[in-house]
Amino acid sequence: MYASVAGLKAHMQKLTVIGNNVANVNTQGYKKQRTVFRDSVYSMYSAGSNGTTTVGGMNPSQLGYGSMIGSIDLNMSSSSYNPGNTTDCALVGDGFFLVGTKDVENSTNPETYDQNFSAENFKALNLTRVGDFDIGPDNYLVDGKGNVVYGFMTTRDTITEPGPDGKPVTRQVVSDQLVPIRLPRWDENHNIKYARTDLTVTVDANGNKTGTAIAQGGAAGRLVDDQPNFPGNTPDGATPPADGTTVETEYEFAQLDSITIDSKTGCISGTSKADGKPVVIGYLAIGSVTNPNGVSHIGESYYKCSDGAGSLSISMLGGVQKDIGLQSVGYSRLAADPNAAQGTQTEPLPGTDILGCDTEMMVGFLEAPNVDLAEEIAELITTQRGYQANTRIITVTDSMLEELVNMKR
C-alpha cells in the first residue's frame, strides 16, 4: 500500500507539471517541462549468491516501495514565431536577452573599477527569451515588464582608423561597458550628446556632478550621460552660485523617430526629429550559458544562470563586436585595477570576452511556446490512468485488511 501512496504522490506532481505546460500553451517564449520518474527505495528480502562448487547461484530478492520524481527537466528548444510589433525580437537558436533593474549596472559596470570583477557579476542579470522591447517613458529600452535591456551604448558618431590593409576604415564608437540601453541626449541646438567614458565624475554633498577629463591613454571612466558643465561643453548660461557649487543642468533626452533593431547585428538606431539624421543608440547583448536546459525559473518568463547552468558569457550577434572594436566587457577600464601598474594590464579578465554567436534574431516577431498540446493531453491520459491504478491497489489492500479484521467476529 505504501508503494502505491508513493506512486500517487509522484503522479500528482507530474500532473502539476502537465497542468503548468497546458496553462502556458499561449505564453510567449514559454519552455515546456517534462517529468522523469525513477523507482524509489528497496529492501532486501533475500540476498543473492554467486554459487559454489556444489550449488548454483541465486538472484537477490528485493521489495520495492513505489516511484518518485527523478527530475523535472526544462526543454529549451524553439518552436515557432508569432508576428509582433516593429521592435519585438525573437532569438533563433541558443541564447537569452539580458534584462534587469537599473541598479544591476552596479554589478555589471561598478562605479569604481573593482579588482574582483569577474564573469560571475553577469549573473546578477535576468535572462529571457521574450523580446517585447520598446522605448519606455523614461527613454530606456525596456521589456513588457518594465525591466531595462542591457547592451553596449554608442559613445561617438564614427571614427576613421587605418585598417589591417592600411586603408582607412570608418566604424561606430561603442563602449565595452555592459549597461542599460537608453537614448542619447541633445543640447539646445539639437546636437546629439552621446554618453561619455572620458571623464572621472564626482558628486558633491549637494548632489552636483563634476567631470574631470581623464588623461589620454588612461583607463576609461564609467559610462555617464553627458551634461552641460562637463569638459568640452559650453554651459547654457547658468551662473554658478557664490559658494562655488555647480548648478546641474542636464541635457534633455534626444527625440528620435523610426527606432529600429537590426536583425543581423542587434544595432538599435533611429532618426533625429530635429534634422532627420540617423542616430545609432547601441547594440543588444546576448547571454550564452554552458547548459541552457539548466537555467532556473524565477517567474514571469525570466531565468537565472544559477547552479546547474554553468557559466554565463556575453555575446553579440553576427560577430559585430569585431567590426566595432570590442574585446571584452569592461576591458577599457582594466588599467584602473589598483593591483596593476597603470596602463600595463593588457589581458582581459577570464570569462569577460565578448564572443560572437551563431544565434540569429528575427525582428518584428515573438517566440511562441514550444508546448505540443496533443502531446500534453496524451501525457495527461497516461498520468490519470497511472494514478487510477495506484488508487486501485490501495482499495484492494484496504479490502484485504478488512477481511483480516473480520476473521474474528
Q: What is the pLDDT along the chain (409 residues), one digit of tens a residue?
A: 888 999 999 999 999 999 999 999 999 999 999 999 999 888 898 998 898 888 889 899 988 888 999 999 999 998 899 999 999 999 999 999 999 999 999 999 988 777 778 889 999 999 999 999 999 999 999 999 999 999 999 998 777 777 677 777 777 889 999 999 999 999 989 999 999 998 888 887 877 788 888 877 778 889 999 988 888 885 554 445 555 555 557 899 999 999 999 999 999 999 999 999 999 999 999 999 999 999 999 999 999 999 999 999 999 999 999 888 898 998 888 766 555 544 455 678 888 999 988 899 999 999 999 999 999 999 999 999 999 999 998 999 888 888 888 887 6
User: What confidence score (pLDDT) does residue 256 get?
Assistant: 95
Place of cell 537614448: 183
| Residues comprising the chain, all counted | 409
Q: Show Cβ contacts of residue 54 under 8 Å, excluding neighbours closer than 6 positions.
A: none
Chain CA centroid to CA 137, Å: 23
Cell digits of residue 45:
528480502
Place of cell 504522490: 9
| Phi-psi map region of 195: left, alpha, beta (phi>0 left; psi -120 to 50 alpha) | beta
* pTM listed for this prediction: 0.87
User: Which residue intervals of 77-159 are DSSP H helices?
Assistant: 105-108
Cell digits of residue 140:
530606456
Q: Report CA-CA distances (Å) from 333 to 106, 150, 320, 378, 388.
A: 14, 18, 21, 56, 64
